[in-house]
């Protein structure tokens, strides 16, 4: 059993809850947290008992960005050497649904981490923003790319170029978060959402995520081909037979995730 210092793992049924746990730094993403989180996410991705992964922080902060104190004195050569980019690519490659459950600050790298997840569920206390420009840098783990794809260039440019923070209501209005709920109901709603997803057939979830990802990364025709192939491949799964038999027999399916 791996020991973690900067994150916590709790398994609830088929949902794995991963909580960022550096309260002294508002969950700033230092190298250790990145290693632990990315390593765990890859492990959970390979674990057939897990159908969905929740990533969350504390009430006060999802994550207040990359760790400024850790990188402040680094040179360009040292930043290249440290390769903070590669591991995050591995996180974004997780095949299973990942849900960011955001309360409080999701700034800089914290916002970027949320954008790497498939769904963002936010508390009304959530605040999103890219403060990097005010630090003399720019978002570095996918922020400029994913925010443009999420909300379009003009609004993305305003957020990245000004560093302006937005509240949960605005984040919902412009399409960054899928839903905003009260602080009291956040964990309950997150659990219901994650359980609903994790109860579906795992091969179908993985196929759905692969097809959704293709929509962001390929021209339409290539994406349609990927969708068609993912769809067709599911016809050799036990869960497709069960899902369609259950429909005909007017009962709920009992998926075995294969």
Provide the minimum distance between the beta carbon of 14 and ligand DAK in the complex, in angstroms, as a whole number: 31
Q: For ligand DAK, which residue has the nearest CB?
A: 108
Provide the minimum distance between the beta carbon of 244 and ligand DAK in the complex, in angstroms, as a whole number: 45
Which CB, 51 or 142, lies closer to ligand DAK?
142
Which CB, 4 or 105, lies closer to ligand DAK?
105
Distance CA 181, CA 171 (A): 12
Provide the minimum distance between the beta carbon of 103 and ligand DAK in the complex, in angstroms, as a whole number: 13
Beta carbons within 10 angstroms of residue 251's beta carbon: 9
- Give the number of C-alpha atoms closer than 13 A to the C-alpha of residue 91, restricted to the C-beta side: 29
Q: Catalytic residue numbers?
A: 66, 109, 112, 132
* Interface positions with ligand DAK (CB under 6 A): 25-26, 28, 64-69, 79, 84-85, 105, 107-109, 131-132, 135, 140-141
**What is the side-by-side order of every strand in the sheet holding 98-102?**
7-12, 15-20, 52-56, 98-102, 119-123, 179-181
Backbone φ and ψ of 35, nearest 5°: -60, -45
Backbone φ and ψ of 138, nearest 5°: -135, 165
Torsion of CA 116, 118, 124, 125, to 10 degrees: -20
User: 109, 171, 169: which is closest to 138 by C-alpha?
Assistant: 109
Provide the minimum distance between the beta carbon of 74 and ligand DAK in the complex, in angstroms, as a whole number: 8
Beta carbons within 10 angstroms of residue 113's beta carbon: 31
């Amino acid at each position: 059993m791996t020991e973690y210092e900067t994150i916590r793992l709790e398994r609830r049924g088929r949902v794995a809850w991963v909580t960022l746990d550096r309260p002294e730094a508002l969950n700033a993403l230092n190298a250790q947290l990145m290693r632990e989180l990315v390593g765990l996410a890859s492990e959970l991705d390979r674990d057939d008992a897990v159908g969905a992964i929740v990533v969350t922080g504390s009430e006060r902060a999802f994550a207040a960005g990359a760790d400024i104190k850790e990188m402040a004195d680094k040179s360009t050569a040292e930043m290249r050497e440290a390769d903070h980019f590669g591991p995050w690519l591995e996180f974004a490659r997780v095949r299973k649904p990942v849900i960011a459950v955001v309360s409080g600050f999701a700034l800089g790298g914290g916002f970027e981490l949320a954008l790497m997840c498939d769904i963002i569920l936010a508390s009304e206390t959530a605040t999103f923003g890219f403060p990097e420009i005010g630090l003399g840098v720019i978002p570095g783990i996918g922020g400029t790319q994913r925010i443009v794809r999420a909300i379009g260039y003009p609004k993305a440019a305003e957020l990245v170029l000004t560093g302006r923070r937005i509240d949960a209501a605005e984040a919902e209005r412009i399409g960054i978060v899928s839903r905003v709920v009260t602080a009291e109901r956040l964990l309950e709603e997150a659990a219901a959402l994650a359980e609903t997803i994790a109860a579906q057939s795992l091969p179908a979830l993985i196929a759905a995520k692969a097809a959704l990802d293709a929509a962001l990364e390929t021209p339409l025709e290539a994406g349609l081909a990927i969708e068609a192939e993912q769809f067709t491949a599911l016809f050799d799964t036990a869960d497709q037979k069960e899902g369609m038999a259950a429909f005909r027999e007017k009962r709920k399916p009992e998926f075995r995730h294969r």
